[in-house]
Amino acid sequence: MAARVAPIASIGVPREIKPDEQRVALTPDAVRELVGQGLVVRVEQGAGSGAGISDGAFERAGAAVVDRDEAWGAHLVVKVKEPQPEEFAYLRPDLVLFTYLHLAAYPAVGRALLEAGCTAIAYETVQLDDGSLPLLAPMSEIAGRLAAQVGARLLERPQGGRGVLIGGCTGVKPARVVVLGAGSVGWNAARLAAAMDAEVLLLDQSPERLRRVEGLRQGRLVTLVSSRGLLERLVPSADLLIGAVLLPGDRAPTLVEEALVQQMQPGSVVVDVAIDQGGCIATSQETTHTDPVRTIHGVQHYAVGNMPGAVPFTATEALVSVTLPYIRTIAGRGLLEAVTDRPELVSGLNTVGGAVCHPGVAKALGLPNRHPMACLH
């Protein structure tokens, strides 16, 4: 049976309750745009405090500052992170939820969405014809830069690292940084590490993707086509290993097995940015900003599931800059017209009316996949 999606008359912005998540899904400037379009915007009290945005700023922009129930009671709810178990009760058939979902890594969230019959659109699977992910790109850029920054810090001896300066110094070799994946995360991680004068090896299975970044490379940065043999040679020699692999909607592939991690030098560092999709390094365990590091086989593992949450002001502004046009279209035109006007939203639909409608998510959850348009009509 096709899902009946209610007309969009109001937009709700709940306060994020995932541990250490300080971002917010709208800014006052975005609220002003939506209110000017004739829409009602409800922002939960305190939703913007972590990003330095007061309730008063939202009210001056035209939003109603409300309690959690009222924010979740809107027709369209926009968030930053996937619903937490305490929020599952707010999911319902007439709700359109627009947020990062990462259902491959959080199957319990997928089951809750399906049981509630909720229409859920994932920022991270909205995909343009050229394969790019416009709503993931700014967070990938931030996460990649943070990966190099965090890794450099963790290599310091007081932080438990080998005591290696990432850029070395005159007469002393720099750290070796191995980056798995040359997408937005990997390229930004590699570029910043190279700017810090590290020796950087950027691996990807796609020669075409490596060719695109080759002309932009700088410093001691080398691009290499990835293979199992190459990983076996390079991973044990890495001072800093950054996992930056993504399959839209699906679980990240495990590229580095535990045996390889065991061969790394004590005090070396792993930063697994792919942890949002389950991680691409076998020994990674999801951590939080308040307790970010696990030491496994003498190797420090940083695998925070919401890395951009460390810089909520920057990350909120960056996120809203790309999501606002989609929010405006969904709220102003209704979901069916929105996916017609912006076809890339079709790939963003993860669940509709109790059905999974993204092939990667369906594969990860082990469930049948339906075409989203069949669900919407």
Cβ neighbours of 370 (radius 10 Å): 18
In the chain, the DSSP E strands lie at: 10-13, 40-44, 64-66, 76-78, 96-99, 119-122, 176-180, 199-204, 221-225, 240-243, 269-272, 293-296, 299-302, 349-352, 355-356
Using the 8-state DSSP alphabet, how is residue 53 labeled? -
Cβ proximity of 34 and 332 under 8 Å = no
Nearest-angstrom CA–CA distance, 7 and 14: 20
Which active-site residues does the annotation give?
102, 276
- What 3-state DSSP class applies to 159? helix
Cβ proximity of 110 and 351 under 8 Å = yes
Nearest-angstrom CA–CA distance, 55 and 32: 14
User: What tokens appear for 51 in the block?
Assistant: 């990003």
Nearest-angstrom CA–CA distance, 346 and 127: 8
Using the 8-state DSSP alphabet, how is residue 75 labeled? S
3-class secondary structure per residue, 308-335: HHHCHHHHHHHHHHHHHHHHHHHHHHCH
C-alpha dist (Å) from residue 37 to 23, 267, 331: 24, 54, 9
User: What tokens appear for 171 in the block?
Assistant: 């007469």
Q: CB-based contacts of 306: which residues, under 8 Å, 6+ apart?
A: 18, 20, 21, 80, 81, 276, 289
Cβ neighbours of 339 (radius 10 Å): 22
- What is the DSSP secondary-structure string of 238-258? -SEEEE----TTSPPP--B-H
